[in-house]
Structure 1
Amino acid sequence: MNFKLYSDSTYTFTIHEQSPNYEKTEKFDGFCRLTNDTIYFTPFQFKPVNSQKAVLKNNFIEFVEAKFPLKLKIRKPIMPSVSDSLASKSYALFMYDSKHYNYFPQSVKPYDLTQQELAEVDRQLRNYFERNKAKLEKPIDSYCKQVTAVLNVSQEKEVYIACHCKGRDTNKDFEYEMMIHFRDGGSCHLGVKVNLTKHTYSEVFVNGDA
């Protein structure tokens, strides 16, 4: 997939699919405007995912209220880089959308973490790993972490962290889409919730062995 944004407020988006007996290329174009960290698609929505806007953060373009989650990596920086942040070191951030995820009740609202808050998430997760190292077997840096945050009805900041053992497929895909949790694989797949307001964590699950 290739998204290009031009100075005349137009864009092109190209999708190329290829398999041993099939090849297809689709190209979409339209108009948009960039305001601060948000791309607004107007007068027509971004057709591939039926989205009216996308947010630029952590060197990704993430489409909002889309028919399916879509993140695109920014190859040529539009905004200042955060390459030295935790978000680029085995953490991937995702905007919470209750249409696609069920980690929290329907009453929550998406929340955008600051780097300081992500550092607190990292501290709480490291505490969890330290206190459960006999059960988890692997150290925290052996995992890719996927993070999504919300405000609950009490206006508390809650975070869900999906942890997956690093590997060829995990390293390739973890930045782009929230991965499903497998029914086996032992502690290679686990979920933890952190309440940033209360500075506490709770275990959601650790997968059983195959």
Structure 2
Amino acid sequence: MKNVFPLFFLICSLSCTTPKPVNYDYQESYMIIGYQEKYNIFKNSKPTELNEQEISNLNRILEDALSQYNLSKTSKFDLNDYKRQYVPVINDLGEKEVWINCLCNQNNENWKNGIILVEDGGSCYFNLKINLSKSKYYDLIINGDA
């Protein structure tokens, strides 16, 4: 009977934990969301994951993109004011790309559950794509930007 308890404890500890959902990786300011074709963001792409170094590079490129954008505008963007949804893929050339959807700091948890799409919404919402393989951003879209 003594030998059964450690085995029972091991089995329960392995099976009683709550795993993270496969498509989501949560951080306080961003969420990594697995790509699905229904999002229609990229063509001929496959879902992939991001490691810590790639996330660091992604954030650096994102900061650079906002800095460049801010040079030409009177109202400035501060990334700390936004939650971010990252959707990473491998494109048909084998390059890693990420679509970033930025939302004004959300008081609710809906932004963690899936892509938030809005029509207009002004500067509270913007998105862009980053090619990590080339360290370049493109398709920066600020909602309501004229």
Counterpart of 1:168 in 2: which secondary structure?
coil
Matched letter for residue 94 of structure 2: Q
Q: Deviations over 1:27-78 (max 9, x none)?
A: xxxxxxx9xxxxxxxxxxxxxxxxxxxxx5xxx3236xxxxxxx5x9xxxxx
Is 2:138 the counterpart of 1:190? no
Q: How far apart are the structure 2 equivalents of 1:122 and 1:195?
A: 12
CA offsets, 1:183-208, max 9 Å, x none?
22211111110000000001342111
Distance 1:8 1:131 in 2: 50
The one-letter code matched in structure 1 to 2:56 is A
Rounded to whole Å, the distance in 2 between the matches of 1:178 and 1:121 is: 18
TM-score (norm 1): 0.56
Give matches, 1:86-125, under 5 Å: 88-98=27-37, 100-105=38-43, 107-125=44-62
Give how far 1:89 is off. Answer: 3.3
Shift of 1:136: 5.8
Distance 1:168 1:112 in 2: 27
- 1:132 counterpart = 2:69: yes
SS at match of 1:132: helix
Are 1:142 and 2:142 an aligned pair?
no
Q: What residue identity is the alignment partner of 2:116?
A: M
Q: Which runs of 5+ in 2 are unaligned?
A: 1-10
Quote the RMSD (CA, aligned, Å): 2.7
Which fold has the larger relative contact order, with Cα–Cα distance below 8 Å and residues 6 or more apart in sequence? 2
Closer, same or farther: CA 138–204 of 1 in aligned 2, 3 Å: closer
The share of aligned pairs that are identical, in percent, is: 28
Larger strand share, 1 or 2: 1
Q: 1:7 is aligned with what amino acid? A: C
1:166 aligns with 2:102: no
The 8 Å contact of residues 96 and 110 in structure 1, kept in 2 or not, is answered as yes
2:112 counterpart residue number: 175
- Report the alpha carbon displacement of residue 8 of structure 1 after superposing the two structures with TM: 9.2
TM-score (ref. length: structure 2): 0.78
Aligned-partner SS, 1:127: helix
Cα pair distance change 1:135/1:176, threshold 3 Å: farther
The structure in which a higher percent of residues are helix is 2
Task: Summarize the Cα distance change of 1:128–1:205 in structure 2 as closer, same or farther, 3 Å threshold.
Answer: same
Deviations 1:114-146 (A, max 9, x none): 011011110000001111122663311100000
